Amino acid sequence: MGMKRGNVIALVIMGICIIIGIIGYAAFPTKNPEKPIRIMLMTTAGNVLFDHKAHFTDYGAECMDCHHDISDDTERPEACSKCHLPQESEEAPKRAVAFHKQCIGCHEDQGMGPTDCSGCHLR
């Protein structure tokens, strides 16, 4: 049984779409920027969308202010999560403690930025 012309055209379009889609996923892998723009911190108390770029461009924060493990700004800082693990460890304070201390402490010191839970944690 011959196919209708409309179905033949649709088959061709379907093939083209799938090929473009596969090539798009296979040949153009998602690249993360060298410096993160925003970071979504997944937490049980509600995720936190941390605007990393705004902190070093708009608020004048230096890399060293948070990434305390580097000697100068030319060195690429490690991600916080590399040392600050979700659970307690001997190496560094656990992630939630470190973030709360760092964020709230700095916001209080600078007199700007939220200091209460609902100021950062999304519903």
Partner 1 sequence: MSEQKLLIGAHAPFWHTGDSITKKNLNLIIAALPAAIYGIWMYGMPALRVLTLSVGCAMLWELIMNLIMKRPISIGDASAAFIGLVFGMMLPATAPFWIILVGTFIAIVVGKQIYGGIGCNPFNPVLVAMAMLLLSWKDVIDFNAALVNYDFGFNMFYPLSAVKSFGASAVSNYNLHSLFMGKQAGGIGAVFGIGLLIGGVYLILRGYIKWEISLSFLLGIYITAYLFHIHNPEKYAIPLFHIVTGYTLLGAFFLAPEDSSSPVNLIPKIIYGAGAGVLIVLIRNIGAFVDGTVFAILIMNVANPMFDKIRPKVL
Q: Can you give the binding site for partner 1, defined by CB under 8 A?
A: 1, 3-11, 13-25, 28, 30, 32-33, 36-40, 42, 46-47, 49, 51, 53, 118-119, 121-123
Contact 96, 43 (CB under 8 A): yes
Which residue, 3 or 70, has its beta carbon nearer to partner 1?
Answer: 3
The single-letter code of the amino acid at 2 is: G
Which residue, 21 or 86, has its beta carbon nearer to partner 1?
Answer: 21
CB of 28 to partner 1, least distance (A): 5
Q: What's the chain's Rg over C-alpha atoms? A: 23
Contact 103, 28 (CB under 8 A): no
Which residue, 28 or 74, has its beta carbon nearer to partner 1?
Answer: 28
Distance between CA 87 and CA 92 in Å, rounded?
10
Distance between CA 98 and CA 85 in Å, rounded?
10
Which residue, 53 or 107, has its beta carbon nearer to partner 1?
Answer: 53
CB of 19 to partner 1, least distance (A): 8
